[in-house]
Every structure is written in C-alpha cells, then in structure tokens.
C-alpha cells in the first residue's frame, strides 16, 4: 500500500487515529527514519512538528505533495516560498493556542519578577529560616510599562493579561505602522521600535520568526531598554541577540529574562544555565491538554479538507 499521509507523531488525542480510519494509507514513523524517507515518494500530505524542519530538497522527493500540516502556529521551519510556488498548502494551528501561549508568557513574567524559582529552591533546600522583611524582594508590575512586539492574536491576548495586572501597554509590529491597537479591553498606541524599547519596563516578544524579525533586537536595540527591564520570549529564538542579552543581564542593565524558546533549541547556549535572574522553560507555550487536542483537531481537519478538496 502506498503511503498518502506521512506523519511523524500520533499527536495528542484521537485525531490522527481517526484520520487513519478514513485514510488507511496513513503512516506514523519517526522523522528522517528510513521509512519516512521512503514514504516521501508517494505522500500527498506530510504532518510534522515545529522541531522537524523540512527543506526544499525534502519536498523535491514528494512529487504528489498537496499539503503540509505542522503541529504549531509558527511555520519558520518550512520552506513557505517554495510551497507557494508549487501550490503546496500549509496547514498550521492558529487561534487555538493563543490563550495558552499568552498565559505562559504571563507565568514567565510573574515567576521572574516575584523570584518564584529562587523561593521554591529555598523552601526545598530546607534552609528557609522564616518570614523576613527583605527576603527575596521582587519587582512590582502595576503601573509599569509593557512593550509588546507583535500585535497578532497572541500579542493582544498577552496585552489583556498585562493590562489586567495594571500595566500600561504599547505595541510594535512593522516599522512605520503606527495605528493604535485595540486589544479588547483598551486601545494601546503603536510606537516606533526604538521608542518602544526606550519605554518598556517589560518587553514581551510575540512576533513570528521571519527574515525581517531574525536578529531584530541587536545589541544596539537591546541597549535601548531602560535599566532593569525584563525580557520575555515565548515566540521564537533568533529574534534577539542572545549573547548581547546575556552581557546586559550580567551587567545588571537587563533586570531579568524569561524564556520559553531558544536559538538552536534544545541545544541551548550553555551560558543560559549559569545566567542570573532567568526563568528558562522547555518550549511549553501551547502545552495544555485542551490546547494540544484542539491543535490536533484543527490540523487533521485541514489535512482531510485538503486531500478531499484535491480529489473532488
């Protein structure tokens, strides 16, 4: 039987299994295993994870390919321009992971500013001597400014959360676009990047990784942040210069960094493990049962629609 749908994971929930009932030519095998490579020759649909980058050369081996489903909202691991040229549809999972990702960004921000990891480590170490006036004092957020890079659904969802804890919100997305952003509970100004950086006590990244956002926050740009600012990234590694951010952190110019994503993850720069005032998570933005199931459903529905649409 020749393979029509080539997936690298059963995903969360019953949806890939159900798709297999309707398309028996579905096969789940590890990414880049010999069986996966062999399946490319007949595959009409590929299902991959965000940690499984596809190249043009891979897709050259798929003469029948109609659709690629990625279990992520980000599509920076796929050759989009090539897909467009060949009429290969990309199905991703926007919308359903918005709240989970914004929740995680807020979790990082609160954990960082209220020194949650240090407090927990102290309690678990058995060294806690009791309540003290100056024990692990953190930074308050109410009344402070929050700059948000990216005014898409996740940036706006994070803005609502920042607003709810009393922060004053500003956005930036594309240079030159200065129309205010209505984020559902308030309307926030959109600033030029340098102005936003100069004013952000907290900077949270919510833009995709593209040719125009890769390396966007260079050493010079990061240096514009006010002394003691907090940087949160739940978007993608590669948007800011990690070495420069670590230098600014060590010089106490940056107050703290909360990261869910890294350049070259999971092989992170070992300096992160030694860096002070950081909270580091293993790319958990969409990691709730409800969200991952909703992502599976959206992805499998999109694959089915693409295959049926193509054969009708």
| 283 classed as catalytic | yes
Nearer to ligand O=CC(=O)O, 67 or 261 (CB): 261
Nearest 5°: the CA angle 309, 30, 74 is 60
Q: How far is CA 22 from the centre of its chain?
A: 32
- 176-215: contacts with ligand O=CC(=O)O (CB under 6 A): none
Least distance from C-beta 96 to ligand O=CC(=O)O, angstroms?
10
Judged by CB under 6 A, how many residues of this single chain contact ligand O=CC(=O)O?
7
Residue 285 near ligand O=CC(=O)O by CB under 6 A? yes
Nearer to ligand O=CC(=O)O, 138 or 152 (CB): 152
Q: How far is CA 216 from the centre of its chain?
A: 16
Q: Are strands 187-188 and 202-205 parallel, antiparallel or unpaired?
A: unpaired
Catalytic one of 277, 283, 292, 304? 283
Least distance from C-beta 180 to ligand O=CC(=O)O, angstroms?
27
Dist. CA 240–CA 19, nearest whole Å: 39
Least distance from C-beta 280 to ligand O=CC(=O)O, angstroms?
15
Tokens 């010089």 label which residue? 251
Residues 6+ apart with CB under 8 A from 291: 96, 97, 99, 100
Residue 50 near ligand O=CC(=O)O by CB under 6 A? yes
Structure tokens at 224: 């514009």
- 64-83: contacts with ligand O=CC(=O)O (CB under 6 A): 72-74
Q: Nearest to residue 90, comparing CAs of 235, 298, 312, 311?
A: 298
| 236 classed as catalytic | yes
φ, ψ (nearest 5 deg) of residue 106: -65, -40
Nearer to ligand O=CC(=O)O, 39 or 258 (CB): 258
Q: How far is CA 174 from the centre of its chain?
A: 18
Dist. CA 282–CA 73, nearest whole Å: 17
| 89 classed as catalytic | no
Least distance from C-beta 60 to ligand O=CC(=O)O, angstroms?
25
| CA atoms within 13 Å, Cβ hemisphere of 302 | 22
Dist. CA 90–CA 93, nearest whole Å: 10
Nearer to ligand O=CC(=O)O, 170 or 240 (CB): 240
Nearer to ligand O=CC(=O)O, 211 or 274 (CB): 211
Residue 97 near ligand O=CC(=O)O by CB under 6 A? yes
Report the interface residues with ligand O=CC(=O)O, using CB under 6 A: 50, 72-74, 97, 285-286
Which residues are known catalytic residues? 236, 265, 283
């Amino acid at each position: 039987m020749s393979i029509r749908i080539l997936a690298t994971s059963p995903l969360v929930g019953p949806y890939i299994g159900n798709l297999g009932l309707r398309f028996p030519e579905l096969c789940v095998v590890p990414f880049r295993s010999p069986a996966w490579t062999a399946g490319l020759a007949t595959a009409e649909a590929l299902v991959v994870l965000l940690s499984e980058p596809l190249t043009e050369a891979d897709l050259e081996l798929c003469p029948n390919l109609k659709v690629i489903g990625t279990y992520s909202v980000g599509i920076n691991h796929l050759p989009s321009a090539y897909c467009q040229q060949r009429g290969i549809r990309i199905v991703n999972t926007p919308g359903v992971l918005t709240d989970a990702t914004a929740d995680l960004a807020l979790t990082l921000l609160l954990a960082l500013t209220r020194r949650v990891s240090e407090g927990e480590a102290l309690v678990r170490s058995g060294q806690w001597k009791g309540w003290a006036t100056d024990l692990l004092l953190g930074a308050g957020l109410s009344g402070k400014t929050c700059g948000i890079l990216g005014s898409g659904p996740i940036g706006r969802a994070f803005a609502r959360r920042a607003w709810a804890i009393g922060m004053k919100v500003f956005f930036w997305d594309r240079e030159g676009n200065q129309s205010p952003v209505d984020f559902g509970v308030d309307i926030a100004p959109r600033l030029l990047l340098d102005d936003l950086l100069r004013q952000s006590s907290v900077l949270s990244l919510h833009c995709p990784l593209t040719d125009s956002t890769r390396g966007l926050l260079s050493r010079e740009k990061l240096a514009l942040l006010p002394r003691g600012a907090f940087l949160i990234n739940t978007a993608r590694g590669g948007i800011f210069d990690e070495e420069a951010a670590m230098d600014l952190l060590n010089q106490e110019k940056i107050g703290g960094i909360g990261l869910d994503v890294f350049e070259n993850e999971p092989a992170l720069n070992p300096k992160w493990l030694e860096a002070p005032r950081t909270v580091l998570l293993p790319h958990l933005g969409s990691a709730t049962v409800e969200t991952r199931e909703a992502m599976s459903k959206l992805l499998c529905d999109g694959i089915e629609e693409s295959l049926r649409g193509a054969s009708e």
